[in-house]
Amino acid sequence: MGLVTTLPLRASVSDSGSSPASLIADRCAPPQTVSRGFPTAARRAFATMASASSLQTLILDPLTQHTATVVFLHGLGDTGHGWGSVAELFRRDPGLQHIKWILPHAPNIKVTANFGQKMPAWFDILSFDFDNAVEDEDGMLHTVESVSRLIRQEGESGISSGRIVIGGFSQGAAISLLTGLSGASKLAGIVSLSGWTPLRHKLKAMRADHASSIPVFWGHGISDPLVTYPLGVASVEFLKSELGLPTASVDTADAEPPNGIAFHSYRGLGHSSAPEELADLMHWLKKVIPKQ
């Protein structure tokens, strides 16, 4: 756990005084310094050619026998490499060495709210007013299918859906929630870091029968200026009231497997991640996909 406290992170974007568009242009990536020096055997770029919509990914293989997988989606303007150092950090924890990490790269598309500039994005953002903006439903559902294909491929390789976690940061968190809550197979859990619940007008109709019983880790900075803390709280309350997800314990000392949403808030944290959040996530992963 000591390694987590030494992870260099980007300064909180709330301190910059920048506009949302310039924050996005600055990638809003979690780690300030990304290690590209992973062992060659552990780092491999993977591009499936199954169809034109397949995603390219960065894969970090487990250090012991492969019995679980985490698929983690980056935020707007970033790539899978932006979370590579975090995955490598987690991968070296003795309790998580059985996990394979799949870090997909979003395609470059024009982002309307960022003056039409092309950048890596899971879907178009028409406005940074996430509470009231029209959403790119088609783009979201297209990406959900691409991510679901990655999950199915893990199943075909012998990893059951109950040993797979889908997660992401910001935009990636939104896609992870859609994927995990609407997918045909129940996953081990969903991770939302600085995210929001998208397509609330139809998510209730899209949800799978198992949606109310899937564990969810939700981490959110109280000082987030982009995906605001009140939006995060409202998103969690929606999942509880409309989809029936229960409240889970946030006590990391609790040995019981989590059931429902574990909502963690972090004082002073902007649109980024922090060592405390990553430590909490590490504890949660050990409960939902423990060593076998």
Active site residues: 170, 224, 271
Task: Mention every residue, 6+ apart, whose C-beta is less than 8 A from residue 67.
Answer: 98, 159, 163, 289, 291, 292
Report which of 198, 195, 263 is spatially closest to residue 227, judged by C-alpha positions. 195
CA distance 125 to 121: 9
* CB distance 63 to 91 below 8 Å: yes
CA distance 219 to 272: 10
Alpha carbon of residue 37 to chain centroid: 23
Residue with the two structure tokens 């976690």: 165
CA distance 10 to 12: 6
CA distance 223 to 270: 5
CA distance 37 to 40: 8
CA distance 280 to 276: 6
Residue 114, burial from CB neighbour count under 10 angstroms (0-12, 13-18, 19+): buried
Alpha carbon of residue 75 to chain centroid: 8
CA distance 14 to 221: 10
